[in-house]
Amino acid sequence: RRAAAVTAAAVVMVAAGRVAMVVAMEVTGEMVERVVVPMVMARLVDSVAEAAKAEAREVMAAMAAVRAVVAKAVVAKAVAAKAAAAERAADRETLERERAAEAERTRETAEREARTAAAAEAEAEAQCAREEAEREALEQEQAAVEAAAAAEAAAAAAAAETEAEMEAARVA
C-alpha cells in the first residue's frame, strides 16, 4: 500500500510539475525552465528516494525478523536433538543396568543351586560313609564274636584235653 501511495504521489507530483512548467514557461519563459523545473524534479526525486529508503528499511527489518525466526528454529532443532540424544543415552544406561542386575540375579541363583547341590552331595557322601562305618563295625563285631567263640572253644578243648591227660595220669 505504501508503494502504491508513493507511486500515486509521484504521478501527482509529475503532473503538478508539468503543469507548473507550462505555467512557468508562459509566465517567465526560459528563466522558469532553468530554475523551477530542476527544483521540482529534485523534490520529486528526493521524495521517491525517501519512499524507496523507507521501503528498503521495512524489507530489511522483515528479513532480520525472518533470520531471527530461522535462527530460533535452528537452536530449537539443536536443543531437541540434544534432548533426544540424552534420552537415548539414559535408555541405554537403564538397559545396561537392567542387564547387569539380571546377570547378577542369574549368577546368585547359579551359586545357590551349586551350594545346594554340593550340600546334597556332601550329605550323600556322609550317609555312605556312615553306612560303610556301620558295616565295618558290624563286621568287626561279628569277627570279634567269632574269635571269642573260637577262643572259648579252644579253651574248652584245651581244658578237655588237660582233663583227659589228668584222667589218664590218675588211671596210670
Whether 41 contacts 21, CB under 8 Å: no
How much is the average pLDDT of 138-167?
88
Q: How confident is the model at residue 54 (pLDDT cuts 50, 70, 90)?
A: confident
Per residue in 113-124, pLDDT (tens digit) is 999 999 999 999
User: For residue 41, how far is the Cα from the chain centroid?
Assistant: 73
What is the pLDDT of the chain when averaged over all its residues?
84
Q: Which three cell numbers stand for residue 36?
A: 523551477
**% the chain with pLDDT above 90:** 49
Using only the alpha carbons of the chain, give its radius of gyration: 65
In this predicted structure, the answer to whether residue 26 has a pLDDT above a threshold of 60 is no
The pLDDT of residue 109 is 96
Per residue in 68-96, pLDDT (tens digit) is 999 999 999 999 999 999 999 999 999 99
